[in-house]
A and B are shown apart, each in its own frame.
Chain A
Amino acid sequence: MTFEHIKPHLPWMTLLALTAIVGIADTNFLLPANLISMSADIVPLFIMALGMTFAIYIGGIDLSAQSVANMTTVIATVALPTFGLGAAVICILAGLFLGAVSGFVTTRLLVPSFISTLAIGGVAFSTGQYLSGQRALYMDATLRDNSFGWMVGKSFGIPHELFIGGALVLIAIFIQNRTTFGRALKAVGAGEPAAVASGLNVRRIKILAFAISGALAAIAGLLFSVKLSGGSPTIANGFLLPAIVAVLVGGTPLTGGVGGVVNTLIGTLIVAVIRSSMLYFEVDATRQQMVFGIVLIIAIALTIDRSKLRIVK
């Protein structure tokens, strides 16, 4: 039994171990009501991480996710009075478009994704600032409940966010495991030269992966703004690092090709437990990012496939 054998099982083992530790320290933690509300709180982050999974699965990264989410909180709030439910469509299209632009810049202009998405993130952030006039905006409560009330209600004691997250994860699993696109993503992530030499349209696949990432970041932003009943160009700040952590802790390495959607689900739960435990152990909110930064480094160091990286700069 070597480390390589254990590695694929590390994520769920970590999740179980952490849950057990926190559960022993604080018996209230394991109460169903607490677990459910913890999961519901993490759904926007999970959706963003789900999108990020597509970018990382092909060996790229999407640093624009947080800014796109920021932007969509503003778009959703601004568009709600005029378009009602249509605001959601606008948000998703905006995310899809910005993601596609990142993909285009990456594949056509050959700008590495960490920089192209960073740049597009800048564009998204500015757009949010411009549309909001750099202020926090609030949704009208009746308008919000008429159009998006279904997103945040409760049925059978289960918050609707969980249904949304569940539906998205099922769709993502289906795409990943059962469709030609999912197979192509895997091929691009695990061996791009072979994918090219098999006649796959690698460019299109990559652009699509970034577009999906953008769209899911937009959905995350939308849900977030509905939950908080408002939008601001900085409201989702602090999401990016945990989202990347969720993907990597889940076992999808930065080099891509392995892991996937289910891993991100586990990874997000790990992030959720870490977050709750920080509350319990009274770690100051300002230090949370510090913890995630450290966790991120550990996760990358453990998961990265060094045979694919000859030089790290």
Chain B
Amino acid sequence: MYELHKVDKKFPGVHALKQVDFSIGRGEIVGLIGENGAGKSTLMKVIYGAYQPDGGSITIDGKTVRFQNPRQAMDHGIGMVFQEQSLITNLTVMENIFLGFEKQFVKFGVVNWTAMADAARKQLAKVKLDIDPATVTAKLSFAQRQLVELAKVLTLEERIDGDLVILLDEPTSVLAKEEVELLFSLVRELTNRASFIFVSHRMDEVLELSDRIYVMKDGEVVDIVSRDNADIDAIQHKMVGRDVDKEYYREQRQKPYRDNESLLKFDGVSLGQRFQDISFDLHAGEVFCLVGTEGSGREAILRTIFGLETPTAGSVTIKGKPIARFDAQSSVALGVGYVPRERKVEGIVGGMNVFENMTLSQMRNYSSYGVLRIAEEKQLARDWIGQLSIKTPSEFKDCGGLSGGNQQKVVLAKWRSGGSDIMMLDHPTRGLDIGAKEDVYDMVREMSDAGVGIILVADTLEEAIGLSHTILVLKDGRAQQRFECAPGAKPTLYDLVHYMI
């Protein structure tokens, strides 16, 4: 009933959706899985009208439609339950449910709250949530809010003729196990009212709930499997599509690290509730990977090393020097480099050109008495543009105008040229296309060979396993398990996942 035909979407530097065909029938639950960057969220945004496709068509019951915005999609029965919840927390439940559609309860400019509460109760009954509609949303648990969000989308049922398609974006990520079960049984019951598109990175959940599963990789639908003949391994294969290919992560280039040369030492370090009692040693040439779910403490550890957070307990030693004062300037001076996840926000300064960005962290080396030696800066930029084959017309090009992969190279050049030998890579391949990713992997190996210690928070588990010498699995701010990852003897995905969740 709802179909996409050869839908295409391009962003500068990324071909996000390539000729995607997609269909969902009445009362069907369709799963959508893929790695980060596979195109799931772009596809969803096309479906609920936040993006307009560059090519292809969307049809509902055979009729071509075009949505300029989510509101128009809603008018055609497409609703979205957001992952980061879209409820306004200081409004009441009923106000949230009818946000933007209060008109039906208004007479002479006055809202009839009783009528709205009754209507809201009817919606809440659909999701079996027994709460007072006048409750302020902030007082609800996450699971309850999720249901309110679902109830809000279900108001479409009364508002429009025709079928409903509801998107659930990672709905289980903040839920406890029992809550997930409840949600699933509810969704199954609701299939008499609507069809569902279920997006999750938890394979088991997708398998459990969905009738059919779309597997995405690099902007394409690589497989469609029905639940009955779904095989986890096969899907996993298709999702990654290269786990046999050791070349991809440059595994053959992984050399043992120098275990007598410690660059960074964490000894029983804690930071409030964010992480507790973390100990590890980073050696020259080692790729040390922190693995865990969002909020497991990975980012907080990186920020601590970079001096942006001050630990509440334990000691941090960089190159034999115990750190007493935590600030970014001293960390940088000690040779710590940080390749942040938000490349465009924290990595490069848009509006500044390539050479200005490259020397930003090391202006001291390119100035005398505070006066810049600009000719040397330009020379440095030209050298590194050549060395990393950065695609830019010249060193004067505004970094904001470079593609993601080239921006990432500028960030890496910034730290490497300044002699940083403790590199923190936070999702260094996020949002990059395959070629650019491989360039980053090459650079990781090159840095390793040069004796740089790397702390990595990878975009995917496969990437973590493929690249690292050592993996530390974190859960709720605590270290769970350490894995040695010598080439040929790497742990599997399932070894890690077991400790993560």
A residues with a Cβ closer than 8 A to B are 178-181, 183-184, 186-187, 190-191, 193-201, 257-258
Contacts and interface: CB of A to CB of B under 8 A. Distances in A.
Contacts of B346: 193-194, 196-197
Contacts of B414: 198
Given A194-B360, A197-B340, A187 B367 contact: no
19 contacts: A179-B371, A180-B367, A180-B370, A184-B363, A186-B349, A186-B352, A186-B356, A190-B350, A191-B348, A191-B349, A193-B345, A193-B346, A197-B346, A197-B347, A199-B333, A200-B328, A200-B360, A201-B329, A257-B351
B370 A195 contact: no
The 10 closest A-B pairs by CB, nearest first: A199-B332, A191-B349, A190-B351, A198-B361, A197-B346, A180-B363, A198-B360, A199-B328, A193-B346, A194-B349
Nearest to A194: B349
A183 B361 contact: no
B67 interface: no
Interface in B335-383: 338, 340, 342, 345-352, 356, 359-361, 363-364, 367, 370-372, 374
Contacts, number: 75
Contacts of B351: 186, 190-191, 257-258
A197 B328 contact: yes
Contacts of B347: 194, 197
Nearest to A179: B370
Contact of A183 (B332, B350, B360): B360
Contacts of A191: 345, 348-352
Nearest to A204: B329
A180 B364 contact: yes
A199 B349 contact: no
A197 B352 CA distance: 15
Contacts of B364: 180
B345 A195 contact: no
Most buried by B among A180, A198, A200, A257: A198
B331 interface: yes
A178 B364 CA distance: 13
A180 B356 contact: no
Most buried by B among A181, A195, A199, A200: A199
Contacts of B348: 191, 194
A172 to B, nearest CB: 15
B360 A195 contact: yes
A183 B333 CA distance: 19
Interface in B285-301: none
Contacts of A194: 345-349, 360
Nearest to A188: B349
B367 A193 contact: no
A181 B374 CA distance: 14
Interface of A is mostly: helix
Given A193-B342, A199-B361, A200-B360, A187 B349 contact: yes
Given A180-B372, A183-B372, A194-B347, 19 more contacts: A178-B372, A179-B367, A180-B370, A181-B370, A190-B352, A193-B342, A195-B360, A196-B328, A196-B346, A197-B338, A197-B347, A198-B332, A198-B360, A199-B328, A199-B331, A199-B333, A200-B360, A201-B329, A258-B351
Contact of B352 (A180, A187, A199): A187
Contacts of B340: 197
Interface in B306-335: 306, 308, 328-329, 331-333
A180 B368 CA distance: 9
A186 B359 CA distance: 13
Contacts of A184: 363
A310 B461 CA distance: 34
A114 to B, nearest CB: 22
Contacts of B372: 178-180, 183
B360 A187 contact: yes
Contacts of B328: 196-197, 199-200
Contacts of B338: 197
Interface in B390-408: none
Most buried by B among A179, A181, A194, A201: A194
A186 B338 CA distance: 20
A132 B338 CA distance: 54
Nearest to B330: A199
A257 B399 CA distance: 14
Contact of B329 (A178, A181, A199): A199
Contacts of B349: 186-187, 190-191, 194-195
B115 to A, nearest CB: 32
A195 B370 CA distance: 17
A228 B457 CA distance: 64
A233 to B, nearest CB: 37
B397 to A, nearest CB: 15
A129 to B, nearest CB: 38
A184 B359 CA distance: 11
A183 B359 CA distance: 10
Nearest to A175: B370
Contacts of B352: 186-187, 190-191
B395 to A, nearest CB: 15
Contacts of B370: 179-181
Interface in B61-115: none
Contacts of B371: 178-180
Contacts of A198: 332, 360-361, 414
A285 B333 CA distance: 56
A222 B214 CA distance: 73
Interface string B126-150: 0000000000000000000000000
A108 to B, nearest CB: 14
Contacts of A181: 370
B363 A183 contact: yes
Contacts of A180: 363-364, 367, 370-372
Contacts of A257: 351
A198 B363 CA distance: 10
A186 B349 CA distance: 9
A167 to B, nearest CB: 18
Most buried by B among A184, A191, A196, A258: A191
B233 to A, nearest CB: 40
A209 B347 CA distance: 23
Most buried by A among B340, B346, B414: B346
